[in-house]
Amino acid sequence: MSVNNLDDLLGEGVQGRYVLVRSDLNVPLDGSVITDDGRVRAALPTIKKLADAGAKVVVTAHLGRPKGEPDPKFTLAPVAKRLCELLGSEVPLAGDLVGESAKALVSGLADGGVALLENVRFDARETSKDAVDRSELAAELAALTPGGAFVSDGFGVVHRKQASVYEIAAVLPAYAGGLVLAELDVLKKLTDDVKRPYVVALGGSKVSDKLGVIANLLTKVDRLLIGGGMAYTFLKAKGYEVGTSLLQEDQLDQVKGFLAEAEKRGVELVLPVDVLAAEGFAADAAHEAVDVTAIPADRMGLDIGPRSAELFAQKLADAATVFWNGPMGVFEFEAFAGGTRAVAEALVKSDAFTVVGGGDSAAAVRQLGLPEDGFSHISTGGGASLEYLEGKELPGVAALEGKN
C-alpha cells in the first residue's frame, strides 16, 4: 500500500498546524463508566506523537449508534476524561461537532494541545447514504482546521464510507496513522505468504455475519474451527438437533455448501463435539455438558463443552498462523466462558503468529484477565479485519490511496 503516513507528516513539520485525527474511541460503557479502554489506549500513540511535535490536535470519533442527532447516552465525555488521564494533560470536549462550541474550542487550541469533538454520529450526514451530504460535513470539519492535515487512525471504521473516514481524505491532505498501518501490516501476514499450518477460529452469534469471510477463508486456510452461536447452524446442517439454541434456518443451504467445499478442498472443518446445554439464557441457568448428538429439545447451547474446548486447543497447538474472531460461547456469563478461555489460552501458549480479530474477542481477552502481550496482535477492528480477509476493498484505506 502506497500512502503518505504519520512519519511523512511529522517530517514535514506540524508545529502550530492543525491536524484532524479520526480515532476509533467506540468503547463499551456501563452507564458513564468505560468497561474496556483498549481502543482509547490504542489511539494514544498517534495523538501523543502529534501533540509532542507541537500540532494542534483535533480528534473526531463516534460512540455507539445514535440516530443522527445528539443523545446524552452516547456523549464522548467519558472518553475525554479517560484520554485526559492517559495523556496527563487536559482534553476538552466540544459541546457539538462543527457548531459554535467546536469552533470556539478549536480556534483557541494551543500548540501541542488536544481537543475532542463531540460524537461525529450526532450529525446524520456522517453516515448518510448520500455522498453530497457526507461531503458537506467533511467540508465543515476541514473548515474547523484551516491549513490542516487529516490523519486516519481509526482502523475500526476504515470499512465504512463515512464523512470523517472517506470524504474528509479528499478535502485535507491525508495520512495513515500508526495504528491503521500496523493493522494492515498484520492483515497482510494473514493473506500474503502465510506461514502454515494456517488455522482460523470463528465464533460469535450469527453465521450470516461471516458468510463472505468463511467463503474466502476456505480457499486459504488449512483448518477452520467453528464455535459460538453460529456453530448450531453448522450442527443442524450436519443433521443434529440443536434444541432451542441459536439457529439460522435460512442459512442451512449456505452452510451445507461450506461443508461440501471444505471437504472438496481438503480443509479440516472442526465443529464442537459437546456443548453446555442450558435451561435458559441467564448467567445462573442450570446447565450440563451434552454430546452434540444429544442436545435436549428444551435446552440451548451457550458454550462449547469441555471435550470441545480440549479438541479446539489441540487443533490450535501445531499452527504457525492463527486468526481468531468471535467468542466460543456467552463469555460474559462466567459459567459459559470456558470455551472462549480455552481458545484464548491455547493462543497464549502457542509459538504461532496469533491475531485476535477485535470486537468481542478482544474484550474477552481483557475480561478473562489474559496477558495482552501473550498474543502477536489484538486488532481494534473486528468488522474491518473480517472485510479485509473477505477480500473487500476498505473505503477508508482506498481514500488514503486517492481513490475517492
Select which of 54, 374, 383, 391 is catalytic. Answer: 383
Question: Mean pLDDT score of the chain, rounded to an integer?
Answer: 95
What is the full DSSP assignment across 58-82?
Answer: EEE---S---SS--GGG-SHHHHHH
User: Domains of the chain by range and CATH?
Assistant: 6-181 (3.40.50.1260), 194-390 (3.40.50.1260)
Annotated binding-site members for substrate:
24-26, 39, 62-65, 121, 160
Would residue 11 show up in a list of annotated catalytic residues for this protein? no
Would residue 206 show up in a list of annotated catalytic residues for this protein? yes
Q: What is the pLDDT of residue 275?
A: 98
Residue whose entry in the numeric block shows the C-alpha cell 441467564: 282
Would residue 341 show up in a list of annotated catalytic residues for this protein? no
Q: What are the residues whose beta carbons fall under 8 Å from the beta carbon of 377, sequence distance 6 or more?
A: 182, 186, 354, 355, 356
Select which of 227, 359, 381, 396 is catalytic. Answer: 359
Annotated binding-site members for (2R)-3-phosphoglycerate:
39, 121, 160
- C-alpha cell recorded at residue 8: 511523512
Asked if omega into 197 is within 30° of 0 (cis), the reply is yes
Q: What is the pLDDT of residue 223?
A: 98
pLDDT digits (tens, 9 = 90+) for 166-175: 999 999 999 9
Residue ranges in 165-251 assigned as alpha helix (H): 178-189, 211-217, 231-237
Q: What is the pLDDT of residue 290?
A: 98
Query: How far is residue 357's CA from residue 209's CA, in Å, rounded to a whole number?
Result: 14
- DSSP, collapsed to helix, strand or coil, labels residue 282 as coil
Q: What is the pLDDT of residue 264?
A: 97
Sites in the chain below the pLDDT cut of 70: 1
Q: What is the pLDDT of residue 29?
A: 92
Q: What is the pLDDT of residue 382?
A: 84
Select which of 48, 206, 220, 392 is catalytic. Answer: 206
Please name which of 14, 312, 42, 273 lies closest in space to residue 156, comparing C-alpha atoms.
Answer: 42
Annotated binding-site members for ATP:
210, 301, 332, 358-361
Give pTM, 2 decimals: 0.88
Query: How far is residue 150's CA from residue 152's CA, in Å, rounded to a whole number?
Result: 6
Would residue 305 show up in a list of annotated catalytic residues for this protein? no
Select which of 17, 22, 39, 82 is catalytic. Answer: 39
Q: What is the pLDDT of residue 124?
A: 98
- C-alpha cell recorded at residue 84: 485526559
Q: What is the pLDDT of residue 200?
A: 96
What is the full DSSP assignment across 101-120?
Answer: HHHHHHHTPPTT-EEE-S-G
- C-alpha cell recorded at residue 161: 464510507
Produce one character per residue of 313-343: b if its CB has 16 or more CB atoms within 10 Å, e if not. bebbeebebbbbbbbbbbbebebbbbbbbbb
